[in-house]
Copies of this chain bind each other. A is one copy, B any other.
């Protein structure tokens, strides 16, 4: 999940270094609350659902138990051979959580799951419950759709989490055996083959980082190099669906299935920084830029097409039929973070922030036990026929990739806040947090306090520092139009533009800096090339995108009948009904009145908070 403190001999060629899991702790505010809900509601709910939906039982069957394998969790006839990965992602989340603090209930549940995984693994290291139970046990019969390497990638990532957060190597032992088996079969001495769903590449790099064994890194590089050579065939949706249409170094733009593309590019960055492969890194950066400029929703959502869960044309960004899979937003956080570390460029942190606060958090209900797989930017009052309950957040999905993906991201979120290098410490995301970093071998500790994202004031107090100078770097988000820095030591306010505000200084304990980000309501015009939202505006405040929901309209008013009133100004307004300190926006609108068009005002809510009050209508883009 995160590029982390390393054990290989040479450091990766990244511009910045991540903090370790024990070096950052969110201590209050909005994200602390989201982490609390994740820990106390979402993750326990996940274990219950894994038991109910089949994945845990499937592992039990692979270990020799009796019962019916459940690869068809719904009535559709679709076969999901990748349900093991849900267990692994859930285990990764629990690893990070137990690292944040003990919880006997979670630990017991995890022990149970780890026991099942251990028992399911074959003596030859192979591990995939579907192939072992439903198939004939022969690996890699269907690399295109089988997700065998994908699943082991998630197993490795869980193992890395348990190793780093807890120094518990039970999963690591399993993961190493599974990876060794893959390396024998598909490494230089084996056959040429890649998985239809990238994921293992980044995991293998992490496995080299924690074990020091460079065979895994070499296998990751090999899998990247074998992609784009037609090994996967055309499949149902064409070779671009699984990024097998062009070599990873050559593809100029993202293409195909969004999550596959983003996971692939995460692996490519990891390999590039380990091997110093500038050309490979440049290819990923080029794709990311093009994607951010032409194929990303305002919410950070990615993927415009339902049919193949894919990126669309440049500027094909329909709000109603946005796919914007929760997993794609999560994957973009993972990729943005890797590019931030690799390059040090603040715009990648901007992308991470936009995705987290909007397209990621929209994937889970405020209560933590209901999810969205797809995150549209518009839902109509009148819709195509759907069965009762359909369209609402669901407690789980037949293909349940998103819920445990949310769990592992939120449980490790503190690791995305800051980084360090030999010259200092960089703050990228703001939350009340206690941070610790190494700067040229010496410890820096910072106490960050903020009411972000509702309030724009961030104070940073130095609580431990080396004697020699170092640079504190504070990201001023790209959306900021007015930001001021004050301190340390009585230094008066001065303005700071978007990017990294750098404060080189010989710091003393107690030095405090305050970053004040002005948070006006922003009225955002769409790019004129986005055909689907021509003539509309959206509302933003700080990192948050807002939306109108029918729950906030006068009774009998349909959302589709309302228009933006340019003659009046929107204003921030508290929304205690949606949570402590939540800020909404009062939106000036024109709607149908008894005697013709009439002015009215309706409350917009943060996009992440939508669909917590029933299956009503919603829109981010408001017609003018």
| Listed stretches A168-176, A230-238, A275-283, A475-483; interface member | A230-238
A238–B321 alpha-carbon span in the complex (Å): 18
In the complex, per-residue mask of A234-251: 1 if CB is within 8 Å of any chain B CB, else 0: 111111100001100001
Question: Would A385 and B253 count as touching, CB distance under 8 A?
Answer: yes
A124 interfacial by beta-carbon distance below 8 Å: no
A311–B384 alpha-carbon span in the complex (Å): 7
Nearest opposing residue in chain B for A312, CB measure: B384
How many residues from A make CB contacts under 8 Å with B? 52
A255 interfacial by beta-carbon distance below 8 Å: yes
A315–B380 alpha-carbon span in the complex (Å): 9
A307 interfacial by beta-carbon distance below 8 Å: yes
Nearest opposing residue in chain B for A319, CB measure: B531
A321–B532 alpha-carbon span in the complex (Å): 11
A240–B386 alpha-carbon span in the complex (Å): 7
> Of residues A384, A528, A536, which shows the largest number of chain B Cβ atoms within 10 Å of its Cβ?
A384
This protein's copies in its complex:
2
| Listed stretches A73-81, A452-460, A484-492; interface member | A73-81
Question: Would B384 and A233 count as touching, CB distance under 8 A?
Answer: no
B306, B307, B380, B623: the one within 8 Å of A313 (CB): B380
Given A313-B380, A387-B238, decide whether A305 and B321 contact each other with a Cβ distance below 8 A. yes
A291–B136 alpha-carbon span in the complex (Å): 49
A386–B489 alpha-carbon span in the complex (Å): 59
A314 interfacial by beta-carbon distance below 8 Å: yes
> Of residues A74, A318, A534, which shows the largest number of chain B Cβ atoms within 10 Å of its Cβ?
A534
Question: Would A382 and B307 count as touching, CB distance under 8 A?
Answer: no
Q: How far is the CB of A99 from the nearest CB of chain B, in Å?
A: 40
A560 interfacial by beta-carbon distance below 8 Å: yes
B77, B383, B623: the one within 8 Å of A534 (CB): B623
A76 to chain B: which residues have CB within 8 Å? 234-237
Given A76-B235, A314-B380, A384-B312, decide whether A321 and B319 contact each other with a Cβ distance below 8 A. no
A239–B528 alpha-carbon span in the complex (Å): 39
A378 interfacial by beta-carbon distance below 8 Å: yes
A385–B532 alpha-carbon span in the complex (Å): 20
Q: How far is the CB of A525 from the nearest CB of chain B, in Å?
A: 12
A320 interfacial by beta-carbon distance below 8 Å: yes
A421 to chain B: which residues have CB within 8 Å? none
A76–B74 alpha-carbon span in the complex (Å): 23
A316 interfacial by beta-carbon distance below 8 Å: yes
Nearest opposing residue in chain B for A390, CB measure: B238
B313, B380, B382, B560: the one within 8 Å of A320 (CB): B313
A24 interfacial by beta-carbon distance below 8 Å: no
Given A75-B233, A529-B560, A535-B534, decide whether A255 and B380 contact each other with a Cβ distance below 8 A. no
Nearest opposing residue in chain B for A558, CB measure: B529
Q: How far is the CB of A72 from the nearest CB of chain B, in Å?
A: 11
Give residues 371-391 of A contacting B (CB, 8 Å): 378, 380, 382-387, 390
A315 to chain B: which residues have CB within 8 Å? 380, 560
In the complex, per-residue mask of A314-339: 1 if CB is within 8 Å of any chain B CB, else 0: 11101111000000000000000000
A240 to chain B: which residues have CB within 8 Å? 384-387
A517 interfacial by beta-carbon distance below 8 Å: no
B251, B321, B534, B623: the one within 8 Å of A321 (CB): B321
Give residues 381-426 of A contacting B (CB, 8 Å): 382-387, 390
A315–B320 alpha-carbon span in the complex (Å): 11
Describe A's contact surface by its main secondary structure.
loop
Question: Would B531 and A382 count as touching, CB distance under 8 A?
Answer: no
Give residues 71-108 of A contacting B (CB, 8 Å): 74-78
Question: Would A386 and B238 count as touching, CB distance under 8 A?
Answer: yes
A62 interfacial by beta-carbon distance below 8 Å: no
Question: Would A387 and B316 count as touching, CB distance under 8 A?
Answer: no
Q: How far is the CB of A202 from the nearest CB of chain B, in Å?
A: 23
Nearest opposing residue in chain B for A240, CB measure: B385
Question: Would B380 and A532 count as touching, CB distance under 8 A?
Answer: no
Question: Would B321 and A316 count as touching, CB distance under 8 A?
Answer: yes
A536–B533 alpha-carbon span in the complex (Å): 11
A78 to chain B: which residues have CB within 8 Å? 236
A259 interfacial by beta-carbon distance below 8 Å: no
A76–B246 alpha-carbon span in the complex (Å): 19
A540–B350 alpha-carbon span in the complex (Å): 46
Give residues 248-297 of A contacting B (CB, 8 Å): 251, 253, 255-256
A341 interfacial by beta-carbon distance below 8 Å: no
Q: How far is the CB of A9 from the nearest CB of chain B, in Å?
A: 39
Q: How far is the CB of A502 from the nearest CB of chain B, in Å?
A: 38
Give residues 107-144 of A contacting B (CB, 8 Å): none
A310 interfacial by beta-carbon distance below 8 Å: yes
A536–B535 alpha-carbon span in the complex (Å): 10
A77 to chain B: which residues have CB within 8 Å? 235-236
A305 to chain B: which residues have CB within 8 Å? 306, 321
A234–B76 alpha-carbon span in the complex (Å): 6
Question: Would A255 and B318 count as touching, CB distance under 8 A?
Answer: no
Give residues 543-598 of A contacting B (CB, 8 Å): 560
B246, B310, B387, B535: the one within 8 Å of A384 (CB): B310
A307 to chain B: which residues have CB within 8 Å? 306-307
A316 to chain B: which residues have CB within 8 Å? 320-321, 380, 384
> Of residues A234, A314, A321, which shows the largest number of chain B Cβ atoms within 10 Å of its Cβ?
A321
Question: Would A321 and B318 count as touching, CB distance under 8 A?
Answer: yes
7 pairs of A and B residues whose beta carbons are closest in the complex: A535-B535, A255-B385, A306-B307, A75-B234, A534-B535, A307-B307, A76-B236
Instruction: Contacts A238-B390, A531-B533, A531-B623 known; list 15 others, CB within 8 Å.
Output: A76-B234, A76-B236, A76-B237, A238-B387, A240-B386, A245-B385, A255-B384, A307-B307, A312-B321, A313-B380, A314-B382, A316-B380, A531-B532, A534-B534, A534-B535
Name 6 interchain pairs, CB-CB below 8 A, sorted by A.
A238-B387, A238-B390, A240-B387, A255-B385, A307-B307, A316-B380
